[in-house]
Every structure is written in C-alpha cells, then in structure tokens.
Amino acid sequence: MKTLYHQLINEVTSSILVLVVLTLAGCGIEEKVIPAMAEELRLGPKILSASIPGMPDENIEIDHKKNQITVTVPAGLINLTKKIEFTIQDKAEWASSQPDVINFCSGTLSHSWGGVSTTDLKYDNHTAVIRKGNIERTYRVVIKQNEDMYFAPKDKIIEIEANFGGSFLSNIPIYNFSDGDNRTADIVFTNTQSGNQFVESGPSCWYNFATVDLCRIPENAPLGEYSVQLQKKNGRKTTNQLRVLLKAGAPYVAYLNEIILTPRPKDIKLVGANLYPQAKIEVEIWHHRTKESHRIKPVLNDPSGREGSLPLPVNLKAGQYYYKVYSEGKLQEKEKRLIVRETEKQPVIFWSSYGVPIILKRNMPVNYITCYPVLPNSSPSLKLTSITDGTKTYLLNILTRDSIYELGPNYFNMPSDIPSGRYLITMQYKDADGVSQESEPLETDVIVE
C-alpha cells in the first residue's frame, strides 16, 4: 500500500514538475534556478548540516546523492550515545519527532525525552526523515569506525573466584567498540594450558563499560588461567587480550536433589560451586525425628566443580531429613531440608520452620503448612494421629485456593471437637488410580489447644 502511495505521489510530482518548469521558462526565470527547484521537487528537501558537541565537523558527512549521513566515530570513544543537532532546509519539517540523540553502537536516532509517538513507529530509527509538503526525503545513518578496538590495558592478571550462581568479569572499559553493529558480542575464553575455548555472550549497545559486568564466566570452564578476547558478529576483535585467573572459592552445596527411593537410586546429585576433591568435602544427613545420621564423602569429578554425587546410604528410609556441608572438618553452611519419598506418588508435607512444635487453635483456620501434590478431585486431607494413643486419628479436609493448586501453603479449618494434646500430622490424597497415598509425618509435632 505504501509503495502504491509513493508511486502515485511520484507521478503527481512529475506532472507538477513539468508544469512548473514550463511556467518558469515562459516567465524568463534564469535557467540555473530551474534545475535546483526541479531537484527539490524530485528528491525532496535537504538536511543541510548535522553536528555533535565535542566532535569535529569533518567526522560528519552528508551525501545528498546517496541520502546518507556518515558519522566517523572519534578514536578512544567509550560513550555509546551523544547529543546530535540537525539543520534542515527552510520550510521543511520532521516527518516524525525530531531526533536529538545518536547511538554510535547501533547507528540509531532517538529522542532525549525517551518517548515514542505513534508516528515515530512508522519510520526506521536508523533513518532521519524530513518532508516539505507531501514530499518526504529519507537519510540513512551509517556509523564508520576506523580505529582498532581494544580493552583498557591491565598491568596484572585479573583473579576471579568461582561462585554458585555465576562469577563475572566486571568494570572493563573497551575502546572503539561502537561501529553500528548492535548485535551482542562474544567473549572468548581460551585456557592457556589446554587451548580449550569457552564462549559467553558479551556486551551490546546498552553496555556501560565502566560500571557493570562485561560477561559471566562460562559455567563449564575449569579452574585455571585464560586469555580473553572480545569478538563482534561483524568480525572485529579486540587487538589485545585480558589475562584472567579463575580460582576456587569456598565450597558450596546449593541443594541436594529430592530422593525417590523406588526405584532405588545409587546416589544423590549435588549441585553447587567449588566442589573439588581438594576441598575435602563431607555431607552429614540426619532424620529429624529419629536422629539417624549419615556422614558421607561425595564423589567429585566434575572439572567445573559445579556438580557431584553422594553415595546413597543402604538403610536410608523415606522421611524428613536435613543436611550440613563440611570442608576440611569445618562447617560451611547452615542445615537445609532434604525430602526423601518412597515413590513419586507419595505426597509431602512441611512448613518453613522446624524444631519447634506447631500450635493449632481449635475453631481457627490454618494456612502455613505446605503440602503437595494437592490436585483437583484428589480428596486431599490432613491426618492427625495422637502420639499417646495411635488409635485416635482425625481427618481434616484441605481447602485448595483454586482448581489447579498443586503446591501450598494450603489451608484447613481446625474443628472444635479434637481433644487437646500432641499429634503427628500427615497428608493424604487419592492418586489417579484411586489409591490412597500418605506422606511421612511432618518433622515437627503438632499441639492442639
């Protein structure tokens, strides 16, 4: 539709042009004026000049034949954006909002006020479009980079400790990065001993080289020394390289995978950071109620130190467990919960605290105990079993918050007819086959008052 519109405009313009030229010629207007006016009617109005504060005028070239504005980026530039001022032909106007900011990285124009109007969306932000009457003229912005791209020199090797969740290479200025290619650059890590390479996503057009992370250290990179080079999608590379030494930090186990005993696995997967043999790691697992404990040395052979495996104790049973991590005999972390289930269908019940009995008031709603799965039409309930008399049990319906609620906290109402005392609490539901499934008891006693 837009092409047809422009075709009609051009045909009308050509007709007008012929009439104007004939009229001017008949009136005796000088011949040199006629071609100039004809060119404006054919090509549209001009952008007469552009300037960027602090940048030499010769760095900006306007080619009216190509309808192109070429900006040569000054040597050593770190800033990605600058203010830009345009002068346009008399009686011409901007087709969209007047741009006043240029991004050297992406080669785009924008407005310092940050907004985008509906009209702006009709135009490519790599262009400057002006018009006079119904005639538009589009100039494309081209960013030109003649200088080598390089990291700010570093006198010594950069030492970084590996951490769970990622370590980062930060605060590294890059000179002459901007060249109009706004695609995300690659950061290539080359191990100086093995020659193996690891690639991470690097900066893009909105990167502030002085204050934020250049990139994440590749997760699968083993400890050691690396040379680091930046490479853009257009083939440009930094002419120098950084030297980075990736060291082990404190060992950390983020979590142990939940354990399903049927079918019985051989080991438990550990996930964390700095899980290396030299850390001499031991993991202590204990059942909260029975106090049965196991102290196990994990198998650690992942070169990146992010995973390991823990041999499963032969007599480990389903229940609520906790674990601690030691390195060279010293405690590294506070205890964390470990869920052990007999089968995938066995439900789980827990709450955020442990060690302190839960007090339930009669005739009161309870909404801080978490259960899963709690599925529609599965008849979920809580079962209270008297600790002093195991024959006394009470079932309380779990009230789910909506029809797809699988993970709590769920809520239920405490009735008035349950006797005071200490209870074990479990969760029950019926699986897809209609078979009743029951959880292991909550690790904390429940006191009904």
User: What is the tens place of the pLDDT at every residue in 91-116?
Assistant: 999 998 899 999 888 889 988 876 67
Most confident of 7-21, 61-75, 388-402: 61-75
Rounded CA gap, 45 and 64, in Å?
10
pLDDT at 220: 86
Rounded CA gap, 436 and 428, in Å?
7
Check pLDDT > 70 for residue 217.
yes
pLDDT at 212: 59
Q: What is the DSSP letter of 237?
A: B
Measure Cα distances from 254 to 51, 121, 271, 337, 441 in Å.
Answer: 54, 46, 6, 11, 25
Q: Which two tokens stand for residue 235?
A: 């083939």
Check pLDDT > 90 for residue 235.
yes
Nearest CA among 150, 59, 64 for reference residue 104: 59
**pLDDT digits over 177-200, tens only?**
888 888 889 999 999 999 999 999
Nearest CA among 267, 312, 320 for reference residue 292: 320
Q: Provide the pLDDT confidence category of residue 351 given band limits of 50, 70 and 90.
A: confident
Give the DSSP per-residue string, 424-445. Answer: EEEEEEE-TTS-EEEPPPPSS-
Rounded to an integer, the average pLDDT of 136-154 is: 91
| Average pLDDT value for the chain | 84
Most confident of 107-121, 370-384, 431-445: 431-445
pLDDT at 199: 96
Identity of the amino acid at 49 = S
3-state helix, strand, coil in the chain (%, to 5): 10, 40, 50
Give the DSSP per-residue string, 278-328. Answer: GG-EEEEEEETTT--EEEEPPB---TTSSEEEEEPPTT--SEEEEEEEEET
Burial environment of residue 445 by CB neighbours within 10 A (0 to 12, 13 to 18, 19 or more): middle
Rounded CA gap, 173 and 297, in Å?
44
Q: Which H or E run contains 410?
A: strand 410-413
pLDDT at 349: 85
